[in-house]
């Protein structure tokens, strides 16, 4: 069994992620491609890893769990906030029609396009800027995933959610954060607080 397959079994399936499409998507994305060279030996470890500028590449389990919550079936247009290494972006790209991914930090955004091209991923648009605002011209989205945590759910983000759409986002301070699942159903917006998590702050 290779390291990726072992990661999926021991860290992801064992903790309850069962969506076969999500597991297949993770099988098809080599995580070592997204990890800085000096951390490559740890690419499949059960932990977030450092990127540049104090940012981190998310723990594999959290990528799987958040992706599963979006319930992607293949036709969706997805907004991602916090491209980072592009690992989560690649997983989303395998599962949706189109991914619009925003990263505030220009130094991080630069290498992502190249990595995605190496994997022959062509359904991603990358922009440098604040993810709450920078893809407003492409709204509404069927799914929104944020890898950075605002103090409160930004209403500007909820506005960009299509009917039937789902948004998964960490919300809170550095000390106390929870994952939230926001759904727009029949014109109403439902907000559910889920597990405690730890993400970098969403900056503006
Ligand atoms: N999913 C990424 C996680 C990156 S960490 C990965 O696994 O690699 C979160 C990222 O969000 C950081 O790169 C940070 O620079 C970025 N970020 C913070 N605030 C942002 C904002 N308002 N818009 C877009 N990106 C933002």
Show the 3-state SS of 110-171.
HHHHHHHHHCCCCCEEEEECCCCCCCHHHCCEEEEEECEECCCCCHHHHCCEEEEEEEEEEE
Residue 77 lies in a domain: yes
Atom of ligand 1 nearest to the CA of 102: 24
**Domains of the chain: total:** 1
Q: Of 64, 83, 169, which is best to mutate to test ligand 1, by the most ligand atoms within 8 angstroms of its C-beta?
A: 83
- β-pair type (141-146, 148-149): unpaired
Interior CA angle at 111 toward 43 and 9, to 5°?
25
Q: Is the CB of 88 under 6 A from ligand 1?
A: yes
Q: Is the CB of 50 under 6 A from ligand 1?
A: no
Q: Is the CB of 148 under 6 A from ligand 1?
A: yes
Residue 33 lies in a domain: yes
What is the CATH classification number for the domain harbouring 72? 3.40.50.150
Q: What is the pLDDT along the chain (204 residues), one digit of tens a residue?
A: 799 999 999 999 999 999 999 999 999 999 999 999 999 999 999 999 998 777 889 999 999 999 999 999 999 999 999 999 999 999 999 999 999 999 999 888 778 999 999 999 999 999 999 999 999 999 999 999 999 999 999 999 999 999 999 999 999 999 999 999 999 998 899 999 999 999 999 998
Residue 113 lies in a domain: yes
| Angstrom distance (rounded) from CA 46 to CA 177 | 20
Q: State the virtual CA torsion across 47, 67, 126, 202 in degrees, nearest 10.
A: -60
Active site residue 146: no
Structural domain boundaries, residue 11: 3-197
DSSP 203: P
Residue 203 lies in a domain: no
Q: Is the CB of 170 under 6 A from ligand 1?
A: no
Residue 192 lies in a domain: yes
From the list 14, 28, 58, 101, the catalytic residue is: 58
pLDDT value, residue 1: 76
pTM exceeds cut of 0.85: yes
Residue 85 lies in a domain: yes
Residue 158 lies in a domain: yes
Helices (H) and strands (E) in the chain, counts: 6, 11
Residue 204 lies in a domain: no
């Amino acid at each position: 069994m290779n390291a990726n397959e072992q990661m999926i079994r021991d860290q992801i399936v064992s903790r309850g992620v069962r969506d076969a499409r999500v597991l297949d998507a993770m099988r098809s994305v080599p995580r070592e491609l997204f990890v800085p060279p000096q951390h490559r030996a740890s690419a499949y470890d059960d932990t977030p890893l450092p990127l540049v500028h104090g940012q981190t590449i998310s723990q594999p389990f959290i990528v799987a769990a958040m992706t599963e919550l979006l319930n992607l079936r293949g036709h969706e247009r997805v907004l991602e906030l916090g491209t980072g290494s592009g690992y989560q972006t690649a997983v989303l790209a395998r599962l949706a029609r189109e991914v619009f991914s925003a990263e505030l930090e220009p130094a991080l955004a630069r290498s992502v396009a190249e990595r995605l091209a190496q994997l022959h991923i062509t359904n991603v648009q990358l922009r440098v800027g604040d993810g709450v605002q920078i893809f407003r011209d492409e709204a509404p989205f069927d799914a929104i995933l944020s890898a950075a945590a605002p103090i409160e759910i930004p209403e500007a983000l909820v506005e960009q959610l299509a009917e039937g759409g789902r948004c998964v986002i960490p919300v809170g301070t550095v000390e106390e954060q929870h994952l939230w699942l926001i759904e727009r159903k029949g014109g109403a917006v439902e907000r559910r607080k889920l597990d405690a998590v730890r993400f970098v702050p969403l900056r503006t």
